[in-house]
């Protein structure tokens, strides 16, 4: 990629925080970029995340008199390199820590009303979990999908990760490992919520061994997966 596209310019923009999406776009504009490829690091599409990013981009572009070509990548949950990187990270963790009684595949939740109104996020998450389980040759009963980061009073996508972990422990499951494929990098919702808070829920309910499998972060195979997602649009 670097040899073929040595003139590529890169900028990072955050939906909530700095550097902002607007600042990233303006830096690319200042360098004369006529085509901008946008890759939101949300493998699964949701109106609450991916679409929100596109809205922020369009809001900034409204102020531009001359607009570049925008290529917006909506999702990459089916990308083979992404799934292989996830599978490899899990296998490497289990080579060191052993195979659990259950692998819990946890995604960030969204309000159920979004799904009821046509948001494909839940479908993308369940397909991701199924594809990942198949890549690991897991049988039914060896894995389960759930949803974390629930807040507010309305119903969110279920089953909830907290309730699932407590139920597993109470049913006699002693050893679980949790992986969060919807997070490209570790953050409070993985390190604090999963590896700390939810670990506590599981152990308090009778579990004996809890393992959190890190997000892909800066793994080389994750970087290569991202390249494979972007490359067709160059």
Domains of the chain: 21-75 (no CATH), 80-213 (3.40.50.1400)
What strands lie across the sheet with 209-213, from one edge to the other?
Answer: 143-148, 102-108, 175-179, 209-213
Contact 108, 189 (CB under 8 A): yes
List residues bridging with 105 in a β-sheet: 145, 179
* pLDDT value of residue 3: 46
Identify the residue whose tokens are 């490359």.
231
Backbone phi, psi, residue 145, to 5°: -105, 150
Cis peptide before 19 (omega within 30 of 0): yes
For the chain, list residues with pLDDT below 70. 1-6
* pLDDT value of residue 5: 59
Nearest residue to 146 (alpha-carbon basis) of 163, 171, 134? 163
pLDDT single digits (tens) 131-181: 999 999 999 999 999 999 999 999 999 999 999 999 999 999 999 999 999
* pLDDT value of residue 7: 79
In the 3-class helix/strand/coil scheme, how is the chain assigned residue by residue? CCCCCCCCCCCCCECCCCCEHHHHHHHHHHCCCCEEEECCCCCCCCCCCHHHHHHHHHHHHCCCCCCCEEEECCCCCCCHHHHHHHHHHHHHHHHHHCCCCEEEEEEECCEHHHHHCCCCHHHHHHHHHHHHHHHCCCCCCCEEEEEECCCCCCCECCCEHHHHHHHHHHCCCCEEEEECCCCCCCCHHHHHHHHHHHHHHHHHCCCCEEEEECCCCCCHHHHHHHHHHHHHHC
Spatial distance between the Cα atoms of 98 and 66, rounded to a whole number of angstroms: 56
* pLDDT value of residue 6: 65
What global pTM score does this model have? Answer: 0.95
Q: Which two tokens stand for residue 168?
A: 């597993």
* pLDDT value of residue 2: 40
User: Treating both helix axes as pointing N-terminal to C-terminal, what angle do 121-135 and 80-97 enclose, rounded to 10 degrees?
Assistant: 60
């Amino acid at each position: 990629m670097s040899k073929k596209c040595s003139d590529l310019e890169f900028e990072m923009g955050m939906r909530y925080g700095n550097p902002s999406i607007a600042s990233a776009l303006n830096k690319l504009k200042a360098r004369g970029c006529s085509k901008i490829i946008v890759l939101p690091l949300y493998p699964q599409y949701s109106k609450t995340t991916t679409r929100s990013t596109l809205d922020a981009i369009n809001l900034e572009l409204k102020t531009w008199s001359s607009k570049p070509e925008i290529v917006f990548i909506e999702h990459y949950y089916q990308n083979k390199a992404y799934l292989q990187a996830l599978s490899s990270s899990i296998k490497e963790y289990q080579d060191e820590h052993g195979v659990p009684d259950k692998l819990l595949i946890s995604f960030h939740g969204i309000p159920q009303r979004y799904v009821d109104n046509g948001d494909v996020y839940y479908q993308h998450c369940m397909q991701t979990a199924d594809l990942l389980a198949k890549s690991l040759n897991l049988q039914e009963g060896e894995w389960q999908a759930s949803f974390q980061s629930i807040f507010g009073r309305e119903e969110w996508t279920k089953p909830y990760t907290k309730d699932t972990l407590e139920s597993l422990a109470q049913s006699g499951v002693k050893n679980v490992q949790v992986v969060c494929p919807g997070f490209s990098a570790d953050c409070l919702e993985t390190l604090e919520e999963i590896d700390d808070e939810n670990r506590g829920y599981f152990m308090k309910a009778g579990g004996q061994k809890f393992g959190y499998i890190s997000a892909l972060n800066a793994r080389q195979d994750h970087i290569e997966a991202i390249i494979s997602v972007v490359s067709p649009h160059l």
